[in-house]
Amino acid sequence: MLKPWGKTVDDLPVVMDYRLAVAPCVICGRPGTEVNHWMPQMLADDPEVKPEWDKWAQLNAPLCVTHHRLWHKKVTPWMHGFGRNGNHD
Ligand SMILES: [Zn+2]
């Protein structure tokens, strides 16, 4: 109970700030991160990956756009759009 106002926490309006709802970049600490999967999502339908995709999908790290692009540029340069212009296609 929030005594001065006669309200409970459930009465408070909820505003979700998705920019801050996820952890900051593990490299530079910036907010506004994207989820970087250990196993690239584009491989989710790969026959060797698909049976265990739910577990692979849990292995991830929050990265800002800059570090997410850098990760893909260095680790998955074969992915369409990475390693050439740095854009996530
Ligand atoms: Zn970063």
Span from the CA of 86 to the centroid of ligand 1 (angstroms): 15
pLDDT score recorded for residue 32? 86
| Domain span including residue 25 | 21-85
Span from the CA of 67 to the centroid of ligand 1 (angstroms): 5
What digits encode the pLDDT tens for the residues 30-80?
Answer: 998 888 888 988 899 999 999 999 999 999 899 999 999 999 999 888 876
Residue 50 lies in a domain: yes
Span from the CA of 34 to the centroid of ligand 1 (angstroms): 10
Question: How far apart are the C-alpha atoms of 49 and 75, rounded to whole Å?
Answer: 18
Predicted confidence band at 86 (pLDDT cuts at 50, 70, 90)?
very low
pLDDT score recorded for residue 6? 77
pLDDT score recorded for residue 89? 37
Span from the CA of 75 to the centroid of ligand 1 (angstroms): 16
Predicted confidence band at 4 (pLDDT cuts at 50, 70, 90)?
low
CB contact set of 65 (below 8 Å; sequence gap of 6+) = 32, 34
Collapsing DSSP to helix, strand or coil, 22 comes out as coil
Span from the CA of 56 to the centroid of ligand 1 (angstroms): 22
The total of structural domains in the chain comes to 1
Query: Diameter of the chain by CA atoms?
Result: 59
Residue 11 lies in a domain: no
